[in-house]
Chain A
Amino acid sequence: MTIVTGKAEARRRLRSARSGVLRKVWKHRADYAYVLPAIAVMLIVIAYPIYYTIELSFFNTPPGLQLRDKTFVGIDNYTAILTSQVFWRVTLNTMIWTVASTFISFVLGFAAALALHRDFIGRGILRAILIIPWVISAVAASYIWKWIYHSDFGVIGAVLVGLGLADRPPNFIDSVSTVLPSLIVVNIWREFPFAMIMMMAGLQTIPDQLLRAAKVDGANAWQRFWHVTFPHLRNVSTVTILLLAVANFNSFIIPWIMTGGGPSNASHIWITHIYELAFGRQRWGVASAYSVLLFLILMTLGYFYVRALSGNERKDGSA
């Protein structure tokens, strides 16, 4: 009897909750109508490709056959990826590329933001100059850098040889040991202005009276930075780092145009490798499995990004 009563109570609560939700939805029907077109577009251009990629990741797609002739292979694509040497090489490259590019871009961007936050003559011009790498087309920048680095008649090589600092031009992008660091330098050059702009925006939100009060209390420049400025920038720093990390994980243009992932796969990162597997080698199944793995990593980063943003909002709300 008691049990029956409990079930009935649970059903009643569920009905009440449902009607509560429906009431809320109905109340906000206009809002839902406004976002409906956007949701429909997202379902078509995002949700369906994600579903299709996941589905395809369980099929073998031999390059000699059409995609419709694919055969189901279960998790074989994932097993093949995880047991292949190239995967681990490419993964290591991706980690080095992402961590180094993100960290150094952030540090340089932060330093530039701190420098440009001060008032001095020519600050506006300098700020404009520093933003150039970020606004320039990545494709154009890649070609320019390819010529700067050229192992036979690149600008850097010519200058070093001209000044007598080297006998022959350094090998930047035709060597397995130097190619990745060389590409990371180009990526940092392109990305640090983004970090700089974000951090400059963050610096402008720090109340001046706090810094002045700290100065009155006898805090030196480092202490003011560490105890006042930096804590205020924690959230914007988190967001900047996460955005940079996601962008770097997805980075394609610079490595693809400058080296195509070579030489000898030394500059292949996940995205370029996925592209080559899919469009160069037509291994759509394996490429899809790679994409699913990358998707999971990026979703994890995305979760932290959203959490950082929500943290900001909660903090702002409680302030």
Chain B
Amino acid sequence: MTRITLGGAVLRGAVSTALTASLMAAPALGAPPVDLSKWSPEYVRSIAGTQEFDTAADCGKVTPLDYKGRLTFWYQGVFEGDPDLLRQYYKDFFETFRKTYPNIQLEEQALTYNDLLDKFRTALLGNAAPMAVRLQILGGTEFASKGYLQPLKPEDVGYSTEDFWPGAMKAVTWDGVTYGIPTNNETMAFIWNADIFKRAGLDPDKAPATWDDVVKYSKQIHDKLGIAGYGLVARKNAGNTPYRFMPQLWAYGGGVFDETAASPTYKQIELDSQQSKAALQASYDMYVRDKSVPVSALTNQQADNQPLFLAGQLGMMISHPSDYNVMLDLQKKATGTDKDKAQTVIDNMRYGLIPTGPDGKRAVVFGGSNIHILKPEYVEGGKVDEPAAKAIICMWTSPEWSLKMAYAGSNPGNLNGFKTKWMKERLDNIKFLDVTTSMLPYGIPFPALPQSPEIMNIIIPDMLQNALTGAMTVDQAADDAAKKVKDLMGGGL
């Protein structure tokens, strides 16, 4: 049972308000299409299905529908951990684009989250990049700061800056200039198996309130049932690792810099703070001391946790609402008694808010993707067909498609997406969507720095691996990571 004290409640309220203010602080004057101050599952339900949009007509004003051109386009596409539903929407999008713009010769290429950055960087070195690219949220500032991207703001494709999450706009802004448009934004939630909780002697209907509870619950599940408690992920070069560790780090009051502040300066490195070390210690306790998480956490990503969870071998994990659909897809593929076992797990699947830290701080990564146009000199052939690029960007970031392309696993980048009929349909079809939309105000964007991809994909996982393998103590691992960040920011070799 969680005791609520007045002090704790005030602190939690203050932290939550600060985070919400940070995320929602609009960079420009203007009213957003939805009232972000009223954000709640009830509010989201009340606005769903209240407005109609005609995507083809809207985009036709940006690029005429009979425009003749050619476009090369790379995007972070669906991967093995995504549900079939999402695959279908991606297929539908490109079919619809080709029908809407029959004279644009589109050459698209899908790449997985973990491969896209490497391939894109290599292509840029050889001036062989595509004309337009949809990157993970981490990538925007890296490529904008290096001068590879053209300035591009929502107004350029018929929308307004206020139509997008202010926090997401920060991720596409470098030196005061906007270089891209958010396509989708999401926050994850906490998932648990109620049946495992019950058998382990825990309250099946309550998520652990704090990260310390996660450590305790994980141990209890492991000790009583002999299975893994929490789905820790610590693989290097995998987006899944920072998305799961950073909420823990922030909740304990730590951070890489001051990215949780309303106006971060990114000047002070916080990875070696006592709070950051406490967060790392929690992972150490689960992996080394209690052995209550999958041993394979160091080479695992979330896609590896999904079958473990479905097999009833994992009690808790952090993920998207889409994991429910992934479980349904996997269950359909199961045979014999496995099918029934999987159904039992699905029936017992519960979603809740991500736990808080010891001081009541709740945080989650404000994730998502952005879409950008490259400068001609870095593109194969040295030319960019801007009208064609704007046509696909207008369509992808439209209320309709920014929602459909995020149907199962994310949320529309364009806030008008929440008003569409498809949002209403989605609220009925996607179980637990309320929980993840409720996490949005707690979202913290990754530091808007060109060095962020290396920090999040390499330095943070390295720190975890160094501590969890015993190669370093928790203190040494945190200090080592802080030093690496310092060297990186200093532009060292």
Contact = CB atoms under 8 A, between A and B. Distances in A.
B299 A64 contact: no
Contacts, number: 96
A280 B295 contact: no
Interface stretch (B165-173, B360-368, B466-474): B466-474
Contacts of A279: 118, 121-122
Given A64-B145, A64-B491, A281-B458, A262 B294 contact: no
Given A67-B125, A77-B493, A260-B236, A152 B469 contact: no
B493 A176 contact: no
Contacts of A169: 295
Interface in A138-169: 146, 150-153, 169
Contacts of A175: 469
Nearest to A84: B493
B295 A64 contact: no
Nearest to B314: A152
A235 interface: no
Which of B228, B296, B471, B491 gathers most chain A CB within 10 Å?
B296
Given A67-B125, A279-B118, A280-B118, A260 B237 contact: yes
A264 B462 contact: yes
Contact of B454 (A63, A77, A152): A63
Interface in A251-294: 258-266, 276, 279-283, 285-286
Contact of A264 (B148, B457, B465): B465
A66 B102 CA distance: 37
B458 A174 contact: no
A152 B308 contact: yes
A107 interface: no
A1 interface: no
Given A174-B297, A260-B299, A262-B236, 19 more contacts: A60-B493, A63-B451, A64-B145, A66-B148, A151-B296, A152-B228, A152-B294, A171-B295, A174-B295, A176-B471, A260-B237, A262-B465, A263-B298, A263-B299, A264-B472, A276-B237, A280-B118, A280-B458, A285-B493
B13 interface: no
Given A63-B488, A176-B470, A262 B299 contact: yes
Contacts of A176: 469-471
Interface of A: 60, 62-67, 73, 76-77, 80, 146, 150-153, 169, 171, 173-176, 258-266, 276, 279-283, 285-286
29 contacts: A60-B491, A63-B450, A64-B450, A64-B491, A66-B148, A73-B493, A76-B493, A77-B493, A80-B493, A150-B296, A151-B295, A151-B299, A152-B228, A152-B295, A152-B296, A152-B308, A169-B295, A174-B297, A262-B298, A263-B465, A263-B468, A264-B465, A264-B466, A264-B469, A265-B462, A266-B471, A279-B118, A280-B118, A283-B493
Contacts of B461: 262
* Closest 8 A/B residue pairs (Cβ): A151-B295, A263-B298, A264-B471, A62-B491, A151-B296, A264-B465, A64-B450, A279-B118
B146 interface: yes
Contacts of A146: 299
A264 B488 CA distance: 19
B404 interface: no
A94 B5 CA distance: 57
Interface of B: 118, 121-122, 125, 142, 145-148, 228, 234-237, 294-299, 308, 311, 313, 450-451, 454, 457-458, 461-462, 465-466, 468-472, 488, 491, 493
A259 B493 contact: no
Contacts of A153: 308, 311, 313
Nearest to B484: A281
A291 B348 CA distance: 53
A152 B305 CA distance: 11
A123 to B, nearest CB: 39
A261 B236 contact: yes
Contacts of A152: 228, 294-296, 308, 313
Nearest to A89: B471
A287 to B, nearest CB: 11
Nearest to A283: B493
B118 A263 contact: no
A119 to B, nearest CB: 45
A239 B142 CA distance: 47
A173 B465 CA distance: 12
A62 B295 CA distance: 36
A66 B296 contact: no
Contact of A276 (B228, B458, B488): B458
Contacts of A285: 493
A66 B458 contact: no
A276 B121 CA distance: 13
Contacts of A283: 493
A276 B458 CA distance: 9
A226 B317 CA distance: 61
Contacts of B468: 263
Contacts of A263: 234, 298-299, 465, 468-469, 471
Contacts of B228: 152
Contacts of B234: 263
A258 B125 CA distance: 28
A73 B311 CA distance: 55
A64 B491 CA distance: 8
Contact of B146 (A66, A77, A276, A280): A66
A262 B310 CA distance: 27
Contacts of A65: 146
B266 to A, nearest CB: 12
A17 to B, nearest CB: 44
B454 A281 contact: yes
A28 to B, nearest CB: 37
Contacts of B450: 63-64
A115 to B, nearest CB: 36
B283 to A, nearest CB: 13
